[in-house]
Amino acid sequence: MSRQIRLTDAQIYTLRRIKSGTRYFMRGDMKKGEQDKVSHRVNCPSLPVLFREGLVDWRYPNRNKNPGLHYSVELTPDGVSAAIAAQTRKERGL
């Protein structure tokens, strides 16, 4: 990572889940994120923040994004590094 980003535990867990293969989707207007739980989707407020920080990007970036539809996201190279290197409060001993 080129710059230091402070991540919350929820954001770290989200990065780790994306890295392990869990599917995440973000609305085209970049305001809401969702985690795919196979039978349903649950809200993921960490996803738009990770997108703004450059740790997550669209899986298919060349598509025109409809503000009301959800599109798949994936980790950027910085996101992969953050998923590996970041430590939660418990892991840091706090």
The model's pLDDT over 76-91, given as tens digits with 9 standing for 90+, comes to: 999 999 999 988 889 8
Could you list the residue range(s) of the whole structural domain that residue 73 is in? Answer: 9-77
Q: Dihedral sign, CA of 87, 47, 36, 59?
A: negative
Domain assignment present for 2: no
Q: In whole angstroms, what is the distance from residue 78 CA to residue 83 CA? A: 9
Q: In whole angstroms, what is the distance from residue 77 CA to residue 80 CA? A: 5
Segment 26-62, tens digit of pLDDT: 999 999 999 999 899 999 999 999 999 999 999 998 8
Domain assignment present for 44: yes
Q: In whole angstroms, what is the distance from residue 9 CA to residue 90 CA? A: 9
**Per the structure, how many domains does the chain have?**
1
Domain assignment present for 46: yes
Domain assignment present for 59: yes
